[in-house]
A and B are shown apart, each in its own frame.
Chain A
Amino acid sequence: MISRRPSIFIYTHRADPDFLREVQAGIEEENVTSEVFEKEEADADLLAYDACEASMMGSGIGISGENVALQMRGRKPKESVCNIHMPTFSACRIIGSNSARVLKKQCLRDLE
């Protein structure tokens, strides 16, 4: 049996480091771990979708440059839960936190 600590996948393409850091902080504050993978794909929606499909957590995050997207399992590739261009740091935290809350079966926080 293969077992590994469950973590949320963040698929990135030349991600803005500040946005990535804040998203990771949002996940960590919820006591969940995350892993970052750099990808060729440049569409944040598709990155999030692929991250979500690849992980067993039911959610995934895609960051392409200054676009940050959150996706949940079962939704269509272009229908991310959110996809924000140039989000504020607090929005990044909420996106990270929400991705963790999906697996904790908790309601999502509203983006301001």
Chain B
Amino acid sequence: MSIVAGVDIGNSTTEVCIGEYVQGKPVRFLSGSSVMTTGTKGTLANIHGILAALKEAMGRIGRDVSGIDLIRLNEAAPVIGDTAMETLTETIITDSSMIGHNPSTPAGAGQAAGELLSFDRLGRGLPGTPYIVFVSGDHGYEEVAERINETAGRLDVVGMILQADEAVLVENRLARKIPIVDEVKRIDRIPDGKMAAIEVALPGQFIRMLSNPYGIATLLHLNADETRTVTPIAKSLIGNRSAVVIRTPNGDIRENVLPAGEIYLDAEHPVRISLDEGADKIMKAVSDAGKIRDVTGQADTNVGNMLNRIRKSMSEVSGETDADIHITDILAVDTLAPVLISGALAGETCLEKAVGIAAMVRTQQLPMRQIAAKLSDVLHTQTAVAGVEAVMASLGALTTPGTALPLAILDMGGGSTDAAIIREDGSVSMTHQAGAGELVSMLIQTELGLDNRYMAEQIKRYPLAKVESLFHMRMENGEMYFVQESIDPRFYGRVVLLTESGLVRVEKDVPMERIREIRREAKKKVFLTNALRALRSVAPDHNLRRISNVVLVGGSAADFEIPEMLMEEFAGYGIVCGRGNIRGTEGPRNAVATGLVLSYGGENR
């Protein structure tokens, strides 16, 4: 009797399958586990994750890791993936030129233009000049209202900008109603004496004058040239409930369109294509180029810098020089990124066109043997590197009930999307494509403007709900869900994620419908595109219609909606497609680890 452990190190997770071989009998699967991969795939840092996964799997059957007789590691494909994002246009507005944000409670309504006057210098104001008074958070609402009321008849105050969240409190105490914007963080950067325009929209409406270049021109008396320069400001104020635009005569306001640059594909059919053409055209060029040897970008452009960055980080991972790193596949995706406007006074952002790229880098060989040797040292257990990843995944996928040869698998992981076809004679064709779960997370993070990748990962993984009262939630599919016990008030009115361990708050104030749309679009952009091109690449004659069935495996196949998206898409090609269920119990995970255990039996038959 011998206990064999199959270990699959992926970009995101390390998976283990434990099987028992008794002379003359087929393998008996005992246990499995999945933990986060420690360090970059294929490096010695993976050891910690492997040990944890082995411990967990053996623990489940009440045994110690020392009970393992043989560990089989996957011969990982020598490809590693990376992602990068670059905005293509950038609005640069300096010299404190605008405030355009959505404080929850601005006050008053309408628009006005006037000279900026600090509240501290109220006494210096002159009769007959319209003023917009700005007030630091040091002054309370009662004091502010009282002093402004005192100026009535002497000064013409047409609008106010407050640092504190007190617009309504001040307005309720003013004798004359004026538009007031509050919660302006950087009040210290407002220049005294400059001309400004202020607008607060009516309830339920958006501003109209300041989101229109000619509206700004009307209020601030701009000429044609100046009007052109404020266009980016107007653009970034669209959809706001309140805004202030400050005229800075010598201000540097320009929309700087950085050169996006061209991508050079060194391939069977070399191609150069501009990043401006958009993701669809780029992907068409990639597909027409044939076998790609390397991808480079035009020097000193966005794409050039982006690809160089990928090359650099990959060379650090693999220990090879930049020149030895060859990008053999890319997946380009169009997206929008919120960019912080420099010179903004309340942390405003504006959406800029951006492109995300996942790149696949072929390295000499990942140091799997070093990992095997180290494992062997630590555990005093025989450790071998065995089997080609795609073949192992196919073998594992075949344990899904209802499958038979020939079989196509689509392995959707964190870093790459791989496809393989295993035929009746055992021959296998396979491909590795750049872009998978991690690119989806990056897109979600960028489009929602999230601070960290972890939250984006969570949003990718779990369905959404809106807590509408302490006793019910509206699910993203419209269903109402009622609870007996009160929901924690911290979740009240929030969009939440429905995770196994309970509700998780989405901190960003974005409607549930918008988050759902961004999440689903990101998955479609990456996985639909990649699934089609990966399967096309391994299909007989590159014809998708010649594939009859596809088993989805890998971490991203466990996703709650990606398999359904693919099924819908593949139905059009007459392909039967479904989520794998490895060993009839594991779902789509653990295919490679299971294949490693199975192949041991085949080799020793």
Contacts and interface: CB of A to CB of B under 8 A. Distances in A.
B169 A107 contact: no
Contacts of A73: 470
Interface in A1-37: 25, 28-31
Interface stretch (A43-51, A61-69, A98-106): A98-106
A77 B214 CA distance: 57
- Interface class of chain A by DSSP: loop
A112 B317 CA distance: 41
Interface residues of A, number: 20
A72 B492 CA distance: 10
Contacts, number: 47
- Interface class of chain B by DSSP: loop
B489 interface: yes
A74 B468 contact: no
B255 interface: no
A73 B470 CA distance: 8
B105 A29 contact: yes
B471 interface: yes
B168 A28 contact: yes
Given A74-B471, A105-B468, A30 B490 contact: no
B492 A29 contact: no
B470 A25 contact: no
A56 interface: no
Given A25-B141, A29-B105, A108 B168 contact: no
A81 B489 contact: yes
Contacts of B319: none
A28 B493 contact: no
Given A25-B169, A31-B105, A75 B486 contact: yes
Contacts of A31: 105, 168
Interface of A: 25, 28-31, 72-76, 79, 81, 93, 101-102, 105-108, 110
21 contacts: A25-B166, A25-B169, A28-B172, A29-B166, A29-B167, A29-B168, A30-B105, A31-B168, A72-B492, A74-B469, A74-B470, A75-B470, A76-B486, A102-B492, A105-B468, A106-B104, A107-B492, A107-B493, A107-B494, A107-B509, A108-B492
Interface of B: 104-105, 141, 165-169, 172, 468-471, 486, 489-490, 492-494, 509
Given A30-B168, A74-B469, A107-B492, 11 more contacts: A28-B168, A29-B169, A31-B168, A75-B486, A75-B489, A79-B486, A102-B492, A105-B493, A106-B104, A107-B493, A107-B509
